[in-house]
Structure 1
Amino acid sequence: MEDARMLLLECSSESDSTFESDEMDFDELDCSDPLAMSGRCDLHRGLRIEISQHPHSMRKVANIVIGLQRLQKFRHAEKVSRSTEFTEHELLNIILESVVEETVVMRLSCDSPVTYSKQDKELQCTVCDNLQKRLVHSEGDPYLLAVTLKGGNQSQSVRINLSTYASPSCNSTKGQPVCLGIAKSNLYLSCTESDSGSPHLSLEEVKNKEELKMIRGEDGLKRFLFLRSVKGGSVNTFESARFPGWFISTATEDDQPVEMCGEADTSRQRVFTLLP
């Protein structure tokens, strides 16, 4: 309701700590004050009605009307009981009970199991580290290698299918959840715990790809998820969703396995560029 006008009650800062109930007569407004020309009228003492030109919803207007009616009922009750005044605290409680609506805020805890659902968007690309090494795969090996390819050997770099997942709201700031699979195969990069207790990156065969359409925190498939962070369009990092603080990385030396490294490890390359 665009033309609705709100009557706002506000307590005058110049009023006393108590108000005379027999002076609060809503039928006798003192509008002789120049403020009335701007849409404001002082009540006899302590209260002032202000007319706002901003549009408000009909629901808000109804709440104000209800509040005014309850104030009038309170005034009549005070007259019956022959009480002469009420405090600012009592007035505030009346307004809160009449006008203010209760809002329930639901908080989602990331400590409880969350669900990641696969999206239709999928990107196929090759991956190059910060030292221009490409990722390659030799058939039968359960890992990828980072190799410097020259000339016509660029075609040897492996094609990666990057599948995106809907991110739970509590994890939305950490990066885009993705699965990294080898094109034209059932092999996916997975991050699991090694015998030494540290995260380990390997290629794992997924016989039924339908299982990866919905990944839940408690079903063990979270090992296939990585949180992709992008800076400047070409700077990509991939953090393990199962082991926060651990990233896919390559060694400085050539022809070495692609592995996981901790965030504080500066000896390995954690930044990648995705090429079409």
Structure 2
Amino acid sequence: MGDLDLSQGLECPPEINESGFQSCCFDMMDVQQEILRLDDGLDMLVSHNPNTMSCVASLLLSVNKVKKLLNRRQLSDQEFCSTILDVLVEERHVETTGNPPQTNGKPPFQRVNSMKLCTLCDDDDKDIIYDPAKLQLRAFLLKGGQTEHRGNFQMSKYSTGSSDGCQAVMISIVNSSLYFSCSRQSDQPMLSLEECSVGDLTSISHGGSMARFLFYRNTLCSMTTFQSVNCPGWFISTSQTDKQPVEMCEQDACRYMNFKMN
């Protein structure tokens, strides 16, 4: 890294001490210790100990702070000792564990006090139902008298923290802790029902793992689409065939992506 000239960090020019070396600039490999004459009655003994650049910077900061204090007034021995202790710079190494959430510079999604109970029906009048045996959502074309089988859902709103007008929502099954979630499995976005505590869903970071529970809702002419926040460009959709699972699809797929909320 090269030799460090300590004189660059001091306000006064380097002086020559009795050993013939410059006080603030010497070969650290050859000289094991040296006395630096900082001021009248104040010397500093520097011993060679290969440290990090941050240690050297801390030393220079402390020296300059002591000099400024000494220039203000004459200190007693006790005051001088207290001053030395006060200006010591403490170096700490902070270790972080785990991967910090990726925020992408955006504020987190925050749950707002707005919830809506609803049922969901696609463009083909198929109702979304919850199949507890398979822990799955399916689209059924219910006949007369079967409306009691419709799935009842709860939709919670989230503020996006941005001004782009998007509305983020979280959908759960009424009277349960099961939430719609979208995550990639073998690089394919998959819709599933996942159990989660409501306390863990109050604030959600952009790009964080909990974003899998959020969907952007876009309503036009009473029809609504739900785009995954975790997998942009993928929407909740139903098949053209009856009694098939509800899945994620891209916008150009031959599936129903528009829903009526009743």
* CA deviation map 1:155-208 (0-9, x unaligned): 1011010000012215x33x310000000001000001012x1110001111x2
Alpha-carbon distance in structure 2 between the residues aligned to 1:211 and 1:140: 26
Partner amino acid, structure 2, of 1:119: V
Kindly indicate whether the alpha-carbon contact (under 8 Å) linking 2:104 and 2:206 is maintained by their aligned counterparts in 1. Answer: no
Question: Is residue 205 of structure 1 aligned with residue 187 of structure 2?
Answer: no
TM-score, structure 2 as length reference: 0.59
Secondary structure at 2:169 match in 1: strand
Match of 1:169 in 2: 162
Match of 1:190 in 2: 181
Q: 2:120 aligns with which of 113, 127, 142?
A: 127
Question: Is residue 269 of structure 1 aligned with residue 256 of structure 2?
Answer: yes
Map 1:138-157 onto structure 2 (within 5 A): 138-157=131-150
Root mean square deviation, CA, Å:
1.4
Alpha-carbon distance in structure 2 between the residues aligned to 1:239 and 1:157: 22
Number of residue pairs aligned between Structure 1 and Structure 2:
160
Alpha-carbon distance in structure 2 between the residues aligned to 1:125 and 1:245: 24
Match of 2:219 in 1: 230
Match of 1:215 in 2: 204
TM-score, structure 1 as length reference: 0.56
Partner amino acid, structure 1, of 2:215: F
* CA deviation map 1:96-136 (0-9, x unaligned): xxxxxxxxxxxxxx832530000111000000000000011
Secondary structure at 1:144 match in 2: strand
Runs of 5+ unmatched residues, structure 1:
1-109
Partner amino acid, structure 1, of 2:231: F
Kindly indicate whether the alpha-carbon contact (under 8 Å) linking 2:110 and 2:204 is maintained by their aligned counterparts in 1. Answer: yes
Alpha-carbon distance in structure 1 between the residues aligned to 2:177 and 2:104: 31
Kindly indicate whether the alpha-carbon contact (under 8 Å) linking 1:163 and 1:178 is maintained by their aligned counterparts in 2. Answer: yes
Question: Is residue 112 of structure 1 aligned with residue 101 of structure 2?
Answer: no
Match of 1:9 in 2: none
Alpha-carbon distance in structure 2 between the residues aligned to 1:142 and 1:115: 30
Match of 2:242 in 1: 254
* CA deviation map 1:195-240 (0-9, x unaligned): 2x1110001111x2111111112541000000000112x1100000
Alpha-carbon distance in structure 1 between the residues aligned to 2:204 and 2:210: 6
Kindly indicate whether the alpha-carbon contact (under 8 Å) linking 1:142 and 1:204 is maintained by their aligned counterparts in 2. Answer: no
Alpha-carbon distance in structure 2 between the residues aligned to 1:262 and 1:231: 18
Map 1:38-77 onto structure 2 (within 5 A): none
Kindly indicate whether the alpha-carbon contact (under 8 Å) linking 1:113 and 1:218 is maintained by their aligned counterparts in 2. Answer: no
Offset, 1:143: 2.0
Question: Is residue 244 of structure 1 aligned with residue 235 of structure 2?
Answer: no
Alpha-carbon distance in structure 2 between the residues aligned to 1:242 and 1:198: 12
Instruction: List structure 1 segments (4+ residues) > 4 angstroms apart after TM superposition.
Output: none
